[in-house]
Amino acid sequence: MKTLRTAVSMILSFLLPYLMQRWDRRGLGPEQRAAAWNGASWGSALYGFGPLSMIGWAWVTRQGVRRWRRPGWGAIELQSRGVLAAGLAAMLGIGLIMQGVDELIRVLVGAPD
């Protein structure tokens, strides 16, 4: 059972940051999109750092850009600390989702703590 939980955890550690960054990339302006990682850097960050790559993603796409726009949300003013906090919050959210899925698998299969 540990193998299943480990495999699901590994898959989620790549998949969830990828999906979140891809969703975020759609809302980036031209200046932010130009600052975003290319394919090789993006894949390396996801593979090497998993959820921790959210901090780097927020930093490279928002550094030097004072306004963060999302369709329908308006604009949010960000300073450097705000950019890091946004990346950290996204990373923690992904970690909580992963922990919840792991706990759900544990309960469903009846594995001990």
Task: Give the integer Cα–Cα distance in Å for 71 and 49.
Answer: 29
What is the reported pTM?
0.79
The model's pLDDT over 19-57, given as tens digits with 9 standing for 90+, comes to 999 998 988 888 888 888 999 999 999 999 999 999 999
Percentage of residues of the chain with pLDDT beyond 70: 82
DSSP the chain: -HHHHHHHHHHHHHHHHHHHHHHHHHT--HHHHHHS--HHHHHHHHHHHGGGHHHHHHHHHHTT--EEEETTTEEEE--HHHHHHHHHHHHHHHHHHHHHHHHHHHHHHT---
